[in-house]
Chain A
């Protein structure tokens, strides 16, 4: 088990390096550079060139990368070209918002998906199963950026619930209820996207598990259908769910970015999109790095969870 963990970890470090190189290179392919943003378009070419050199942008890309990665390894993510604040402080302010949105969305998704999947699996092709099947398929086909707009339209504009509209983010330290309100629509949007996936995966696995002989054996012990479902069927059916959740959360970050941007919620996604527009390379690099490590750690966590859920996997 320990060997397995160490091997995974080494692999993960490699992935982080490759992603950081890739994003560094792609970023420099973008048209525009930070000097235009800082100095404005009217400044002389000589001044631009001077600033260009000051920022270290005249060096070859690979050298810039090495400078950056050396600093990162020393724990320094650099400073923003534009605002001159440290990248770490930007990340530190934004990251908790993403974490909060994702945690809320996942709680919602699992709380709804597990009981509904169980109900559906109890009577496959029954009325509830059919309704949920069609409903989940409809939800699956609505992209998050459409869903959030619909939610804003109904919840914040029609119903007038406070702090739910665009640009109404309230920080957790200021007012936790307001904070919850302002993050509720993003959390619901991402939660619905996850719910559909979790519901479908768990439902089909449960139906398969319930056909197993050991379920008949459990029935023959005279224990209740409820206990059979929760104690005998759920755990062996949850393996694919864990794997899916790990991958799904990585994808959620991306849809989370769009939702954040649309509602001007100052999470990582909002900062990232802003910084790309400003060619603020080091902020982008820093956020990409943090997100990459985050996604990898989440997947790693779910891998471990899968191992706990199903001991059969433990020895590959």
Chain B
């Protein structure tokens, strides 16, 4: 390790829900590291465990019927196994979260300004006036017009995009070093999506944060992340620098995800590419590769033995596949 200590070190993280039908491994052994001022994309279909992963990293998973093992070191703080009280000391100030749906993630009966400056007053003991001034600054930072007047409005008086900006301001209030963004643009209009992503980029630079961007849309992470994790059935199936994953991915699932992005250059009315089959049932995972039933390249070994993450040519790039795509074929056209 260099003299840049890692901000976040995740080792063999497993999150298992106890359900009436048996244990459900939503996250099944995930390891990765994240440096300071870095943006990491976590990509996967619905149900691939990316949301549970991001919440487990924060220690925000549901409190009951959940078992978490492995390790999450956040600036040296071990999140796994920490009590709610211990985790509260890092929440908001070291790590903050932005949620998927800005319509439901703000308290509908609390003025937005109060929601932003709550952390300043409660956690940092700022007085009312100073906290309000800071909240107005934050509203301005996230691009809310006439922030002073907006301080006292209720969430329903704002559009979805504006609300997500307020959620971002809420997350930034405690000046965290790590921002977990769980599908921050999924609930928004396409035109607003780019604005919110640009905003995240710019606040990340201004506040020298690291960002974990969780999304199902590879298009979202393409230009804004330095590294990408592709998840399938609760496990990492490919990890690498964004450039490598796009240009020289080896895992057929990554390829399938890339193919599923509609391209403007396609002729109109051409069929959208979908991944055949459905995501696997986590209660009843196949013994081999979880993607094998949907994979065009699957062979016998794929169905019996699970592939491990193997390093590719470039350092930091790894994939879990018995029949990886040849490097040349993986190149995007």
Contacts and interface: CB of A to CB of B under 8 A. Distances in A.
Given A221-B170, A222-B91, A224-B88, A312 B108 contact: yes
Interface string A198-226: 00000000000000111011111111110
A232 B107 contact: yes
Contacts of A221: 91-92, 96, 118-119, 122-123, 170, 173-174
Interface stretch (B97-105, B228-236, B243-251, B320-328): B97-105
Contacts of B104: 212-214
B108 A222 contact: no
A236 interface: yes
Contact of A309 (B105, B109, B167, B174): B109
A309 B110 CA distance: 10
Interface in A272-303: none
A212 B167 CA distance: 15
B292 interface: no
Interface residues on A, range: 20 to 34
A232 B122 CA distance: 14
Contacts of B119: 221-223
Contact of B118 (A212, A223, A235, A311): A223
Contact of B84 (A216, A225, A231): A225
A151 B208 CA distance: 67
Given A222-B88, A222-B89, A217 B105 contact: yes
The A contact surface, by secondary structure, is helix
A219 B99 contact: no
Given A213-B99, A232-B110, A311-B154, A219 B91 contact: yes
A122 B88 CA distance: 18
A213 B118 contact: no
B60 interface: yes
Given A213-B104, A217-B167, A311 B123 contact: no
A227 interface: yes
Nearest to B173: A221
A216 B167 CA distance: 12
B99 A216 contact: yes
A222 B92 contact: yes
A310 B156 CA distance: 12
A217 B106 contact: yes
Given A214-B106, A216-B99, A222 B90 contact: yes
Most buried by B among A217, A224, A310, A312: A217
A223 B122 contact: yes
Contacts of A311: 109, 154, 156
A130 to B, nearest CB: 16
B156 to A, nearest CB: 6
A216 B90 CA distance: 15
A217 B170 CA distance: 9
A110 to B, nearest CB: 19
Nearest to B85: A224
A31 B131 CA distance: 72
Interface string A128-162: 00000000000000000000000000000000000
B117 to A, nearest CB: 11
Q: Most chain-B CB neighbours within 10 Å: which of A214, A218, A225, A235? A: A214
B105 A310 contact: no
B72 interface: no
Given A213-B99, A227-B122, A312-B156, A219 B109 contact: no
B90 A219 contact: no
B93 interface: yes
Interface of A: 212-214, 216-225, 227, 231-232, 235-236, 309-312
Interface of B: 58, 60, 84, 87-93, 96-97, 99-101, 104-110, 118-119, 122-123, 154, 156, 167, 170, 173-174
15 contacts: A213-B104, A214-B104, A217-B106, A218-B107, A219-B60, A221-B91, A221-B122, A222-B88, A223-B123, A236-B107, A236-B109, A310-B108, A310-B109, A312-B108, A312-B156
Closest 5 CB pairs of A and B: A222-B91, A222-B92, A221-B92, A213-B104, A222-B88
Given A217-B106, A235-B109, 6 more contacts: A212-B104, A213-B104, A222-B90, A222-B91, A222-B123, A222-B174
